[in-house]
């Protein structure tokens, strides 16, 4: 663990701020050992393009293939645990009166770590809903030879994630935009800043006068607009930041 120091102005701001929004991306989950969507496409899945495994058209064409892919990914997530970056965000939530965590990740690790105010822009791979009536399924038979069906209408069940060509859940997106618009501080953590509309949130916060803090393994298109940029792993930087702000 490297010895990190943080600007006094940032530490002072975080001590007194009451409204903070944080956006997290794949980099946060990767530190827990979870491979990204594309990285996970090895072995049996290597022959497929991402669009072949994550679009309404693909599901209509071969629902069993898509169901099996997401069943495999759900199993992979079961062996993964939150990392220190996740737990640091839980600590920040405890200390900031109005804290909103916006995530592009579908693994559910933020909730597992203990965050309560979470907006899941791209859904959650652990949830399953009907492809026809949108009813959520509490249980389903994973070992079935066929794609499980909805108990309400008989439609095929699908993962509750946003596929290519689908719009983000409106309530989650609207709440995210509002959080970015009214926050005093905005954190962008482990995200490339190229996936819309999530990537526009930091810019919206910046345009409204919020202080923007970026934590990422490398610089992004957002970096020039940030007030503070910390290069490295969020699992190292966030815990140190929490210590610097609240443990001194």
CB distance 186 to 212 below 8 Å: yes
pLDDT in tens, 143-193: 778 999 999 999 999 999 999 999 999 999 999 999 999 999 999 999 987
- Give, for 231, the enclosing helix (H) or strand (E): strand 228-231
Could you give the residue numbers annotated as active site?
122
pLDDT over 70 (residue 42): no
pLDDT in tens, 115-149: 999 999 999 999 999 999 999 998 898 777 899 99
Least confident residue range of 16-30, 57-71, 138-152: 138-152
pLDDT recorded at residue 61: 96
Q: Which fold has domain 8-33+82-122+167-246?
A: Rossmann fold (3.40.50)
For CATH 3.30.1600.10, the residue range(s) in the chain are 35-79+127-161
**Beta strand pairing call for 19-24 and 98-103:** parallel
Least confident residue range of 115-129, 190-204, 234-248: 190-204
pLDDT in tens, 70-92: 998 898 888 899 999 999 999 99
**Beta strand pairing call for 98-103 and 118-120:** parallel
pLDDT recorded at residue 45: 65
Q: Which fold has domain 35-79+127-161?
A: SIR2/SIRT2 'Small Domain' (3.30.1600)
Q: How far is CA 169 from CA 25, 119, 121, 175, 213, in A?
A: 17, 10, 7, 10, 26
End-to-end Cα, the chain, rounded Å: 19
For CATH 3.40.50.1220, the residue range(s) in the chain are 8-33+82-122+167-246
Using pLDDT thresholds of 50, 70 and 90, give the confidence band for residue 1: very low
């Amino acid at each position: 663990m490297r010895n990190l120091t943080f600007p006094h102005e940032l530490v002072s701001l975080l001590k007194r701020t009451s409204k903070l929004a944080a956006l997290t991306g794949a980099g946060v989950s990767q530190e827990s050992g979870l491979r990204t969507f594309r990285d996970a496409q090895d072995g049996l899945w290597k022959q497929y393009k991402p669009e072949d495994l994550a679009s309404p058209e693909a599901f209509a064409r071969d629902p069993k293939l898509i169901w099996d892919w997401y069943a495999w990914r759900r199993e992979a997530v079961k062996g993964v645990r939150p990392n220190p970056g996740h737990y640091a965000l839980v600590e920040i939530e405890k200390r900031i009166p109005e804290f909103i965590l916006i995530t592009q990740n579908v693994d559910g690790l933020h909730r597992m770590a203990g965050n309560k105010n979470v907006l899941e822009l791209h859904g959650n791979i652990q949830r399953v809903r009907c492809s026809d009536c949108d009813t959520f399924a509490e249980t389903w038979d994973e070992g079935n030879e066929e794609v499980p069906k909805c108990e309400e209408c008989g439609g095929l069940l699908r993962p509750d994630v946003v596929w290519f060509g689908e719009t983000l859940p409106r309530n989650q997106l609207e709440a995210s935009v509002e959080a970015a618009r009214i926050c005093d501080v905005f954190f962008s953590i482990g995200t490339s800043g190229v996936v819309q509309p999530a990537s526009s949130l930091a810019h919206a916060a910046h345009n409204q006068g919020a202080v923007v803090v970026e934590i990422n393994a490398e610089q992004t298109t957002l970096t020039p607009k940030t007030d503070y940029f910390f290069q490295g792993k969020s699992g190292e930087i966030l815990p140190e930041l929490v210590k610097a702000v609240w443990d001194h």
